[in-house]
Chain A
């Protein structure tokens, strides 16, 4: 089945530094990937839609200069949290939409990244 690899699984960084999270589709091509943020006991909140070869589309209220998204190939999207602050601490999850559009519209999720900013 479709597999999405997300790295790292967890990361601790100091305030003011930047952190890059990778989302890779291992066995399929994904023109479109999505980045979510999830707070404890809360739903997944869509941050942005990542489109291969073009600029990401950010949801209302998400700072595009803080959360930089790059989707340079059909199998890789990256999220960089710039100048991280403690309030950026959260669980970040990516998903990839398979271009071939299988039965469940091909939404496969990564395993998530726990970011802690100290």
Chain B
């Protein structure tokens, strides 16, 4: 059974204090690992897709990396507007179904 575990559950940072969120996964035949941002009362907003170990992608203050067992979402010099829940999801096989982790609630204080 696919498993996706995110840590920490919650993270509180000061503005400008860089950190990383972790997503560890157990899935055979990974087709893609997704990172989404979710604001309260909203649907997830797409950030990145990573397909193979060693791959990295960047967008503004965010950088996502992937190994064979886990993915990291690095946040450099975060701002209060980066506060949100960050979700990790994996896709395997041909059924197009995503399996989500529980998310990391990030709070960035000014």
Contact = CB atoms under 8 A, between A and B. Distances in A.
Contacts of A4: 43
A93 interface: yes
Contacts of A95: 43, 98
Interface of B: prevailing SS:
strand
B54 interface: no
Given A43-B100, A49-B97, A104-B34, A112 B49 contact: no
B96 A97 contact: yes
Interface residue range, chain A: 20 to 34
A105 B31 CA distance: 10
A34 B36 CA distance: 16
A104 B34 CA distance: 8
Interface string B90-110: 010001111111110100000
Most buried by B among A34, A46, A49, A105: A105
A85 interface: no
B42 interface: yes
Contacts of A49: 95-97
Interface of A: prevailing SS:
strand
Given A105-B91, A111-B43, A44 B100 contact: yes
Contact of B43 (A32, A42, A93, A105): A93
Contacts of B89: 44
B41 interface: yes
Contacts of A42: 102
Given A43-B103, A44-B87, A107 B98 contact: yes
B97 A46 contact: yes
A112 B39 CA distance: 11
B44 A93 contact: yes
- In order of increasing CB-CB distance, the 3 nearest A-B pairs are A109-B43, A104-B49, A43-B102
